[in-house]
Chain A
């Protein structure tokens, strides 16, 4: 009985630990009667570990943005910081015959919503994550900071795409 408890308890405890640290879930549902349903859960800790060791594994130039882009990063940071500090509201609304695009800011998240005849796309950009994804003044992507910021986006729907009967969803649990 004790052996069984250990056999079941250890993996359950490990799963619970991994889950408690966060999981990125990619959920793909294909439409139609033969449509597949694929769910890929990636423990956040794996993604964070991969990002943390990336500078050791990848060549330095692979983790650096081109010089032309790097010189605008300070300004991009300024814009993102201004957006993060700005009050909530609907920033952009484009209405056309077949399509509607709405960009709103809610809290520290920029929400992009595109509605078309068939498709419906929602992308939520956590501004904190976007700020951490920006490279430093030297053009290097700060993977460790990005890894740290990932935990702040838990319980967030990042992407939701509905195209006809197909549905793709990426969220962090």
Chain B
């Protein structure tokens, strides 16, 4: 009898031990939007499994097997010859060999844009300068956009063939990612997108 109870407790402990890490490691995508003017706060917390299903629910965007096909018809119809994904893939491979580098720098009257590869991250910095009217009054304040994309995520996105971006592989990579992905800050609003393993919005340490 005692052995049976011990065996039962052992079995329960084994089940609990095997179940606990699964629950703890569920990655959650969090979105937080705060607008001071409207005093509104929006928070969205979704398990990545649901995000994956939602992404599949956009058939116009994802045509088959989780791959985005770039809009060749649109380009043709509008006489445009944008950057082909295959070209981007080739360029990305060459950049991978270079290592850390400032990939893009654009400085203009309105904004500064910088794309940097640093370690395992591609960082995008966009700084919109405050806009003023003819009288010099500020029409719109400064705006800062910070986007951090893991290199492995770009690798996964570009792991398709031809003009296809591989969303399924990208989601697999996102599941491994923890920390901030996007931060947008302007004079009125604040947007933050991040991934962690909590089902509520206890902020993750900034930047990671």
Residues of A at under 8 Å CB distance from B?
72, 75-76, 78-79, 81-83, 85-97
Contact A97 B49, beta carbon cutoff 8 Å = no
Which bracket fits the contact residues of B? 20 to 34
Cα separation A114 to B159 with both chains bound (whole Å): 43
Contact A79 B42, beta carbon cutoff 8 Å = no
Contact A75 B50, beta carbon cutoff 8 Å = no
- A102's closest neighbor in chain B, by CB? B43
Among residues 6 to 41 in chain B, which have CB atoms less than 8 Å away from a CB atom of chain A?
A: 23, 26, 28, 38-41
Contacts of A82 in B (CB 8 A): 47, 49-50, 52-54
Contacts of A95 in B (CB 8 A): 40-42
The distance from the CB of B68 to the nearest CB of chain A, in whole angstroms, is 16
Contacts of A87 in B (CB 8 A): 23, 26, 47, 199
Can you spell out 9 A-B residue pairs with CB atoms less than 8 angstroms apart?
A79-B54, A82-B47, A82-B54, A83-B50, A83-B53, A86-B46, A92-B44, A94-B40, A94-B43
Cα separation A88 to B50 with both chains bound (whole Å): 12
Contact A88 B59, beta carbon cutoff 8 Å = no
Contact B46 A91, beta carbon cutoff 8 Å = yes
Contact B38 A96, beta carbon cutoff 8 Å = yes
Contact B28 A89, beta carbon cutoff 8 Å = yes
Contact B199 A90, beta carbon cutoff 8 Å = yes
- A88's closest neighbor in chain B, by CB? B199
The distance from the CB of B34 to the nearest CB of chain A, in whole angstroms, is 9
Cα separation A157 to B44 with both chains bound (whole Å): 25
Cα separation A79 to B45 with both chains bound (whole Å): 15
